[in-house]
Amino acid sequence: MIASENRGRVLRRLFRRPLTVIGLFLILANIVMVLFAPVLSPYNPEEMHLKDRHSPPSMKYLLGTDFYGRDILSRIIHGSRISFTLGLSVVAGGLLFGTTLGLVAGYFGGRVDSLLMRVTDIFLAFPQMVFAMAIMSVRGQGFGNVVLALTLTGWTAFARLVRAEALSLRDLEFVQAVQSLGARTPRILFRHLLPNLMAPIIVQATMGMATPILTEAALTFLGIGIPPNVPSWGGMLSVDRDFMETAWWSVTFPGLAIACTVLGFNLFGDGLRDALDPKLRA
């Protein structure tokens, strides 16, 4: 229920910065790849051109081919369907769950806080990789299961961050003011505390985009992530990393794809954080 003039103001400030626009462009480019992958890619991403294995970038294969002679450009475009979507889903899941839990823990404090934070500690105590492997081996390969495994291991960062911030905010007098007005808890949490926590949450979310993309690669490399013929950026890195010196293009371009995506989210996140802060209005 943000006043409409306020929303217009935020949007205007968001688009005024060139870096933010670049970030948004990178994200949009990703979305276009996800939606129109079959139209955009010159080859079938799973088709092996065995005569053209590890051929360098040329007019025929714009970004070269990999160890099995698969077109790298096509695999990057199709890979976005896995990698981009995966990063987004895992961050979104962790954000929703971790933020809510952290808000509740920080706001109520005391026993609620101790209980929720001990649960968080338990999740945090497992190395992420081991925990994800355990889940994957129980539930089997597949995109949904990777999202589940990585979300279950990824939400703790949000919970701890938000809890610490909420703990310091709840004693501010504006929170007491809305309490004394008779506001119910959900309103206090989501209308009053959350907007004041946006800056660290956005930073955490945009920085957190890269981790799931790379962890998925590791899982796939171990054969418990996504079936290896399905193109994903992380998967491409792990298949061809042994040939980094002889066929630099086979790992450089998937790496660039990951970097550009993460960069896009970081730039856009920075802009969003500043646009949402009323104090930074020029």
Partner 1 sequence: MNQESDVLLEVRDLKKHYVLSKRTVFGRREVLRAVDGISFSLRRGETLGLVGESGCGKTTTGKCIVRLIEPTSGQISLEGEDVVGASPDRIREIRKQMQIIFQDPYSSLNPRMTVGQIVGEPFAIHGICAGKERRQRVEALIDRVGLTRDSYTRFPHEFSGGQRQRVGIARALALNPKLVVCDEPVSALDVSIQAQVLNLMVQLQKESGLTYLFISHGLSAVKHISRRVGVMYLGKLVELGETEALFSSPLHPYTEALMSAIPRPDPDIVRERVLLEGDATDSNHPPSGCPFHARCRYRMAVCENEEPAWRDLGGGHFAACHLR
Q: Which residues bind partner 1 (CB under 8 A)?
A: 1, 3, 5-6, 172-174, 176-184, 187, 192, 195-196, 276, 278-279, 281
Q: Rounded to the nearest whole angstrom, what is the least distance from the CB of residue 169 to partner 1 in the complex?
A: 10
Scan for tokens 């979104």, then name that residue: 92
- Burial level of 252, CB count in 10 A (0-12/13-18/19+)? middle
Both structure tokens of 258: 């990951």
For partner 1, give the closer residue by CB, 81 or 170. 170
Q: Rounded to the nearest whole angstrom, what is the least distance from the CB of residue 243 to partner 1 in the complex?
A: 51
Q: d(Cα 58, Cα 53) in Å, to the nearest integer?
A: 13
For partner 1, give the closer residue by CB, 161 or 213. 161
Q: Rounded to the nearest whole angstrom, what is the least distance from the CB of residue 99 to partner 1 in the complex?
A: 16
For partner 1, give the closer residue by CB, 122 or 280. 280
Q: Rounded to the nearest whole angstrom, what is the least distance from the CB of residue 21 to partner 1 in the complex?
A: 24
Looking at the DSSP bridge assignments, the partners of residue 71 are 65
Q: Rounded to the nearest whole angstrom, what is the least distance from the CB of residue 171 to partner 1 in the complex?
A: 9
For partner 1, give the closer residue by CB, 180 or 246. 180
For partner 1, give the closer residue by CB, 214 or 276. 276
Q: d(Cα 248, Cα 199) in Å, to the nearest integer?
A: 38
